[in-house]
Amino acid sequence: MSLPVRVSIEPARGGVARAAGFDQALVACVLALLALGLVMVYSASVALPDNPKFSRYASTFFLTRHAMSMALALVLALVVVQIPTAFWERWAPHVFVLAIVLLVVVLVPFIGKVVNFSRRWIPLGVINFQPSELAKLAIAMYAANYMVRKMEVREHFIRAVWPMAVAVAFVGVLLLRQPDMGAFIVIATIAMSVLFLGGVNARMFFLIAGIIVTVFAVMIAFDDLRRGRILAYLDPWNPVYAQGKAYQLTHSLIAFGRGEIFGQGLGSSVEKLHYLPEAHTDFLLAVIGEELGLIGVASVIVAFFWLTRRIVAIGRQAIALDRVYAGLLCQGIGVWMGVQAFINMGVNLGVLPTKGLTLPLMSYGGSAILMNLIALAIVLRVDMENRTLMRGGRV
């Protein structure tokens, strides 16, 4: 694998950069998921003001907040797409340090906001920022940067993997203090994927993967709450769990069952009427299943599969052009989107134990939408630079 080359794109006379176009299909897919997410967040949250907990909110409160978050995220994405990939390569360690600092700050009393017994958000007025979302992008940047810098030692396990393992473990400790095991799983997967794709010795890669799985298993085995969730997931209809730890899962499955093939119709979900908790965030897919049926759910799954595949393909293309950092970063972002979507869908469908992870680009959550679109703007920038290079642009 060759060392990465620096790319500079000549400015266009009236435009962003003289890039040879951009991936219109990728942009269309992202916008379609955002639009469907906006509609479904409104549908899933419209009845929440009937709940005393949300009685002071208007029926359009979550719709308005989500739309504002999307607008802000789109504006920032338009700014980020102007920034050369080389900038992110240079600043990757600093972004990673910033993410760690924010993960520490969110744990400070009177700074971090507690919701449902978890301290994961920093109130910023117009938005409650979740540092773990920044950490997902930061670990992809840092791991890609690390593999480019340490390319000569990638065949040596201790020298190549150990420093990254320490960094991920430190982030994991901070996330588990919130607690947010779901984000830790995603971040560990991103880091390991970038190491593997960057050329770390395969046998050693599977060894460290086995160690990580063992650590997660031990954490679950010795934690009553996590162990209870696993038992509830394995037998959700057991009366002991159905009204307790498996309550969300059972009502999610009921929602999918009611949806059948074509759904009950947009706005016609019954489970969102205070039966299914977090319907507009973690369990948005269940509302989609109930209202739009198998057709709607299958469309969302296909869209995320195509999106993940396309992002990884852009990364492969960058590596083929000797732009290793850009390629690994794209592939890390692709793993992030794909793995998080897979986990969220698996939880909703009862394939995986309940975990507090949102559906990328669709679920309610300002900081998640913000970081998702910034990450995808970086992918789009990499694609634009790839196209410019392939058409003989200046390097």
Q: What is the pLDDT of residues 180-193, one digit of tens each?
A: 888 999 999 999 89
Q: pLDDT tens digits, residue range 14-54?
A: 334 444 578 999 999 999 999 999 999 999 999 898 888 78
Answer whether residue 340 is part of any domain: no
**pLDDT at site 63:** 94
Answer whether residue 328 is part of any domain: no
Answer whether residue 338 is part of any domain: no
Q: Which domain holds residue 95?
A: 85-220
pLDDT category of residue 215 using cuts at 50, 70 and 90: confident
**pLDDT at site 180:** 86
Mapping DSSP onto H, E and C, the string for the chain reads CCCCCCCCCCCCCCCCCCCCCCCHHHHHHHHHHHHHHHHHHHHHHCCHHHCHHHCCCCCCHHHHHHHHHHHHHHHHHHHHCCCCHHHHHHHHHHHHHHHHHHHHHCCCCCCCEEECCEEEEEECCCCEECHHHHHHHHHHHHHHHHHHHCHHHCCCHHHHHHHHHHHHHHHHHHHHCCCCHHHHHHHHHHHHHHHHHCCCCHHHHHHHHHHHHHHHHHHHHCCHHHHHHHHHHHCCCCHHHHCCCCHHHHHHHHHHHHHCCCCCCCCCCCCCCCCCCCCCCCCHHHHHHHHHHHHHHHHHHHHHHHHHHHHHHHHHHHHHCCCHHHHHHHHHHHHHHHHHHHHHHHHHHCCCCCCCCCCCCCCCCHHHHHHHHHHHHHHHHHHHHHHHHHCCCCC
Answer whether residue 269 is part of any domain: no
Give percent of the chain above pLDDT 70.
Answer: 91
Answer whether residue 159 is part of any domain: yes
Answer whether residue 251 is part of any domain: no
Answer whether residue 394 is part of any domain: no
Region 201-220 average pLDDT: 75
**pLDDT at site 395:** 47
pTM over 0.85: yes
Q: pLDDT tens digits, residue range 344-363?
A: 999 999 998 888 789 999 99
Answer whether residue 320 is part of any domain: no
Q: Is the model's pLDDT at 153 over the cut of 70? A: no
**pLDDT at site 158:** 62
- Domains identified in the chain, total number: 1
Q: Is the model's pLDDT at 222 over the cut of 80? A: no
